[in-house]
Structure 1
Amino acid sequence: MTTLVGEMAVAAGKRVAVGGNLGTPALDLLSDDVELYVMELSSFQLENTDQLNAEVATVLNISEDHMDRYSGLPAYHLAKHRIFRGARQVVVNRQDALSRPLIGEGLPCWTFGLNKPDFHGFGLREENGEKYLAFQFENLMPVRELKVRGAHNQANALAALALGHAVGLPFDAMLASLREFTGLEHRCQWLREHDGVHYYNDSKATNVGAALAAIEGLGSDIDGKLVLIAGGDGKGADFSALRAPVAEHCRAAVLLGRDAELIAQALGDAVTLVRVDTVQAAVEQSARLAQRGDAVLLSPACASLDMFKNYEERGRVFAQAVECLS
């Protein structure tokens, strides 16, 4: 989503720097020739930030992450919400109460969500069987024109529109960028279709919340079922929230890594469970389990450091294994 906002700003003719927790470190972007900084900041980075004073700030959603660092969800929540300190405007996910800051009266607040938009809100509206991205009472563009799939990508598009609108980007430039945006590597990235099964690399899903978004978003957008590949270093997370969406959207779950057994315990008998030792074996097993019309989704809900250098390496190994299917 950070990259998307940056592309929207470029399309609007702005001199933009994009980075932080994504790509270039924030301090390396300091320049007198930049009109707009688009920053993605982690809870770790925000711990060292007293007053960010952003023109507009948002927390897209909050779920358990880094529970090996924080005493619990409230402590993680407080760290994430440091992003709102000194903000002149805020963007809020109206379907996630934990993302909403305690803001002073009169501070401009824009909202986004997958329901109908309200005043100052971005959302989805359906007319004559066609679903639209919408702002307040105006349809902006049909959802089918997005090149990225899934409800979670629709939510990201709406959040990007809200942030861009808050800093004055024109809708025509933002919508043109949305129509061309194909997504990023390792973020629910479509890889290929093989024997009627589609393969998606969501290695960036290093926590339960990110995996839930992919499972629910992609699972509701395909005709068949998902075969989920999950596991790794869970960082002390509670995996119980995976059980219901996995039961609803998945045909099977292929588990690997340090905390595979913890995920298996959380899923119980919700779906068929298979345990493997390598990503290559996970892809082979998933290909056997999947049926035509299904999708195989690597969305680990865990960090990668028990098996890989980082999530990028994990995603590349997965993509290579998928490419080798014959």
Structure 2
Amino acid sequence: MLTNLHAKRIAVVGLGLSGLATVRFLLAQGVKPVLMDSRTKPAGLEHIAADKVDGIYLGEFDANRLAQMDMIVLSPGLALSHPAIRFAKAQGVEILGDVELFARFNQKPVIAITGSNGKSTVTTLVADMLQHSGIKAIAAGNIGLPVLEALRQPDIDVFVLELSSFQLDTTSSLQSQASCVLNVSADHLDRYTDMAAYTASKQRVYQQTKLAVYNQADPLSYPGTTAGQAPSLAISLDDADYGIVEIHDERWLNVAGEPLLPLSRLAISGSHNQFNALAAAALALSAGASREAIARTLQHFTGLAHRCQLVRAHQGIRWINDSKATNIGATLAAIAGLRPDVRGKLILIAGGDAKGADLSELRPVLTRDVSHVITLGQDGPAIAALHSHAIQVKDLTAAVQQAAKLAQSGDMVLLSPACASLDMFKNYAERGELFAKAVKELTL
């Protein structure tokens, strides 16, 4: 759906990666946008020539100036509830995000993926499966590459988009070949009024899709009326068309009702990754991937950094970096997926900014599956209160050193924080890198 922007007064609000990509896209369309950011020195702004835009305003947002716009392209990091944005909307200004702008210009098939956990893994798998099938696919969105940068790439056959709830909040006309809600667990409750509001944002991915793929075990992922008349497809870890089947005492991935690959040949481990593999296969098939390419991808894909990543195996102790687990659901999935493969103790390192989530949801699993919990960060004390063998420490290095004192052959030490990292680190990647560094520096 092409759109003419030349006659509109447009503000780009929030100049992070996606915001700056939006500016570049608009400039390429011959539009001179107004730029706004609450920061006084947003990184990357120096690469935008001031004479090419219609003003740069840094610091507190000018609500009256925003109200004079026809359109605001809002960063996903900024809430629609911000007073200046609400005021502009009340004056009739259209508020949208970069994904919505992408949707209005894009003319190629889209695979859209959301969920509280597993989005990046599934997005990467789908793109790889399509590329190994000879289809030029590109992964974009919340995974890192802004969608409007991806749109400018030549000769793309399929866009595989990882979409956060924040991105979906400002998206209304995205059409997809297939879309998926992998799971919904408590997250971002410092931004949403309740779980129902957060779930509704995730469900927006099903709007205008041709195939709604959902998690059989998670009712919050069910398409309901959001998907309209689109057919739906369930992913399960039971015996199902997309599930796990047993053949001659060996468990296999079942894809479209036919065995595809023994679980023993999957390069990624854990039941949560078996689910991710099945979801990716369903989505990739809908966009034309071959079964052979899907199987080949799953045999070689070893996972993404900071997602249940083996950092070190020494003296029978495995150290796992799952720093990307920034919410409760991710940590629960990691424990459920990894615990069956641990013959000794599971030692968990957790803590950070829980973003308003009810951490008590962790208690049953911590009690049953975790021998020791080592906590740190803003909400570390709240997690420590959930376990009888909890130790609170001041930083990640101390956490690693404490875990080393507790661990023996057969044990696993898992960094899976169940919290965001911003109370102590730049991002989850820095947290994971510092964990890996501390582990590798241990003298065991």
TM-score scaled by length of structure 2: 0.70
Q: Is the 8 A contact 2:235 2:242 kept in 1?
A: yes
Q: Is the 8 A contact 1:151 1:221 kept in 2?
A: no
**2:230 aligned with 1:107:** yes
C-alpha offsets along residues 94-138 of structure 1, whole Å, 9 cap, x if unaligned? 111100111467522222121111xxx311112332111112542
Larger Rg: 2
- 2:34 corresponds to: none
SS in 2 for 1:184: coil
User: CA separation in 2, counterparts of 1:268 and 1:205?
Assistant: 19
Task: Note the C-alpha offset of 1:149.
Answer: 1.1
Greater displacement, 284-293 / 303-312:
284-293
User: CA separation in 1, counterparts of 2:258 and 2:293?
Assistant: 17
Aligned residue among 69, 76, 83 for 2:191: 69
* Equivalent residues, number: 320
Q: Is the 8 A contact 2:374 2:384 kept in 1?
A: no
- 1:295 corresponds to: 412
SS in 2 for 1:68: coil
Aligned residue among 349, 352, 360 for 1:232: 352
Task: Note the C-alpha offset of 1:2.
Answer: 0.9
User: CA separation in 1, counterparts of 2:216 and 2:285?
Assistant: 17
User: CA separation in 1, counterparts of 2:337 and 2:344?
Assistant: 13
C-alpha offsets along residues 255-296 of structure 1, whole Å, 9 cap, x if unaligned? 00000111123x243xx1011111111111111112211111
SS in 1 for 2:341: coil
Letter in structure 2 aligned against 1:59 = V
- 2:130 corresponds to: 9
**2:301 aligned with 1:178:** no
**2:262 aligned with 1:139:** no
Aligned residue among 201, 205, 223 for 2:325: 205
Letter in structure 2 aligned against 1:101 = P
What is the RMSD computed on CA atoms of the aligned residues? Answer: 1.3
Aligned residue among 44, 47, 55 for 2:177: 55
User: CA separation in 1, counterparts of 2:137 and 2:285?
Assistant: 16
SS in 2 for 1:140: strand
Q: Is the 8 A contact 1:219 1:225 kept in 2?
A: no
- 2:422 corresponds to: 305
SS in 2 for 1:220: helix
Q: Is the 8 A contact 1:228 1:252 kept in 2?
A: yes
- 2:65 corresponds to: none
**Moved segments of 4+, more than 3 Å:** 103-106
SS in 1 for 2:234: strand
Q: Is the 8 A contact 2:373 2:387 kept in 1?
A: no
Q: Is the 8 A contact 1:220 1:249 kept in 2?
A: no
Letter in structure 1 aligned against 2:134 = G
> Where in structure 2 are the equivalents of 1:18-97 lying within 5 Å?
18-31=139-152, 32-97=154-219
Give aligned-pair identity as a percent: 47
Q: Is the 8 A contact 1:186 1:203 kept in 2?
A: yes
Q: Is the 8 A contact 1:251 1:290 kept in 2?
A: no
- 2:399 corresponds to: 282
Aligned residue among 327, 347, 370 for 1:250: 370
- 1:98 corresponds to: 220
Gaps spanning 5+ residues in structure 1: where? none
Structure 1 residues 105 and 207: CA distance shift in structure 2, 3 A: closer
- 1:324 corresponds to: 441
SS in 1 for 2:279: helix
Q: Is the 8 A contact 1:133 1:139 kept in 2?
A: yes
SS in 2 for 1:192: strand
Q: Is the 8 A contact 2:272 2:333 kept in 1?
A: yes
- 2:239 corresponds to: 116
Gaps spanning 5+ residues in structure 2: where? 1-121
SS in 2 for 1:274: strand
User: CA separation in 2, counterparts of 1:51 and 1:245?
Assistant: 40
**2:338 aligned with 1:218:** yes
Structure 1 residues 171 and 136: CA distance shift in structure 2, 3 A: closer
SS in 1 for 2:246: strand
Greater displacement, 147-156 / 58-67:
147-156
User: CA separation in 1, counterparts of 2:257 and 2:211?
Assistant: 21
Structure 1 residues 42 and 160: CA distance shift in structure 2, 3 A: same
Structure 1 residues 307 and 105: CA distance shift in structure 2, 3 A: closer
User: CA separation in 2, counterparts of 1:245 and 1:40?
Assistant: 29
User: CA separation in 1, counterparts of 2:395 and 2:228?
Assistant: 53
User: CA separation in 2, counterparts of 1:163 and 1:137?
Assistant: 15
SS in 2 for 1:58: strand
User: CA separation in 2, counterparts of 1:247 and 1:291?
Assistant: 20
